[in-house]
């Protein structure tokens, strides 16, 4: 499973402070530590830490690119911020995170992804909001797949996010998400698109966030999940994710598999 490392985000105090002081130290440190812990992508999100999100995104990406070779996920809901990020990318693999499943938006983001040879995170939500059932999520996933075909974006580069909701809001949601992932991976098209979740929402409002996060992650992996935005510095969730990859026959077992998988 691809671990998209979530910590370079302006909502965290240390990152916020670094952005505001233009101090590369903490950013470099997080980039390197997350890389060592097995990050497949480093998610970069300015958040509300700066008034000028465009220049801040550029600075963060350039800082990270100077610190490691890890692929980057440019995380913003604003197209200009995504574009600013893409401009300074140095040719390493890159992911655009994220766009909703509205056809008009996909018509903008998919050509952008193709142009930059980028992966694209697409959410199973549209103008009607976030669906809470299986079928509407799969319908939006179908729209995403057909738009990807139309625009010529390679299917494995399409990362569909079925949008995890908190278990405290509706306990049926995790099972629904498992089923949506299974359908996306087996029914929609061949080769299948990739699947991704922003995991931590599942444990929102619970008393056992890390435990529920890693338990939920393993369940979703059992249904074919390809990627998740997680805290890779949490050793326990990474150990669980890597072990699930062994049990899903995605990586070869060796006695040192926990270490090997992080390299």
Task: Please state the closest distance from residue 30 (CB atom) to a second copy, in A.
Answer: 26
Residue with Cβ nearer a second copy (49 or 217): 217
- Least Cβ distance, residue 214 to a second copy (angstroms): 8
Rg, C-alpha atoms of the chain? 18
Whether 73 contacts 35, CB under 8 Å: no
248: tokens are 């899903």
Q: How far is the CB of 234 from a second copy (least distance, A)?
A: 14
Residues that bind a second copy (CB under 8 A): 167-168, 171-172, 174-175, 178, 202, 206-208, 211-212, 215-216, 218-219, 221-223, 239-240, 243-244, 246-249, 252-253, 255-258
Rounded least distance, CB 179 to a second copy, Å: 11
Nearer to a second copy, 42 or 181 (CB): 181
- How many of the other CB atoms lie within 10 Å of CB of 23? 13
Q: Whole-angstrom Cα distance, residue 66 to residue 193? A: 31
Strand 158-161 to 94-100 pairing: unpaired
Q: Which is nearer to a second copy, 122 or 173 (CB)?
A: 173
Of residues 19 and 220, the one with the C-beta less far from a second copy:
220
Q: Closest distance between a second copy and the C-beta of residue 223, in Å?
A: 7
Apex 82 CA angle, 213 and 114, nearest 5: 95
Q: How far is the CB of 204 from a second copy (least distance, A)?
A: 12
Question: Nearer Cβ to a second copy, position 11 or 175?
Answer: 175
The nearer residue to a second copy, 190 or 255, going by C-beta atoms, is 255
CA distance 263 to 258: 9
Q: Which of 56, 98, 90 is nearest to 71 (CA)?
A: 90
Contact 25, 59 (CB under 8 A): no
Nearer to a second copy, 76 or 213 (CB): 213
**Is-contact 68 92, C-beta < 8 A?**
no
Q: How many Cβ atoms are within 10 Å of 28's Cβ, its own excluded? A: 16
Cβ 252 to a second copy shortest distance, Å: 7
Task: Please give the backbone phi and psi of residue 27, each rounded to the nearest 5 degrees, phi first.
Answer: -70, -45
């Amino acid at each position: 499973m691809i671990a998209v490392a979530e910590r370079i985000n302006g909502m965290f105090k240390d990152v916020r402070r670094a952005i505001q002081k233009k101090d590369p130290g903490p950013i470099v440190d997080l980039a390197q530590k997350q890389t060592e812990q097995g990050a497949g992508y480093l998610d970069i999100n300015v958040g509300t830490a700066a008034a000028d999100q465009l220049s801040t995104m550029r600075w963060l990406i350039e800082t990270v690119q100077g610190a490691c070779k890890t692929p980057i996920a440019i995380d913003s809901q604003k197209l200009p911020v995504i574009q600013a990020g893409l401009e300074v990318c140095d040719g390493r693999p890159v992911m655009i995170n994220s766009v909703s499943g509205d056809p008009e938006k996909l018509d903008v983001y998919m050509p952008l992804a193709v142009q930059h040879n980028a992966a694209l995170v697409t959410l199973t939500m549209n103008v009607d909001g976030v669906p809470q059932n299986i079928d509407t999520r799969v319908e939006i996933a179908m729209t995403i797949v057909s738009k990807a075909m139309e625009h010529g974006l390679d299917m494995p580069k399409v990362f569909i996010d079925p949008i995890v909701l908190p278990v405290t809001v509706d306990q049926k949601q995790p099972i629904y998400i498992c089923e949506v992932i299974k359908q996306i991976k087996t029914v929609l098209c061949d080769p299948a698109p990739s699947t991704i979740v922003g995991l931590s929402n599942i444990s929102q409002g619970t008393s056992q966030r890390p435990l529920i996060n890693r338990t939920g992650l393993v369940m979703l992996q059992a249904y074919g999940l390809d990627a998740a935005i997680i805290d890779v510095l949490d050793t326990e969730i990474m150990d669980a994710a890597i072990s699930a990859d062994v049990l899903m026959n995605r990586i070869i077992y060796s006695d040192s598999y926990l270490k090997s998988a992080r390299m």
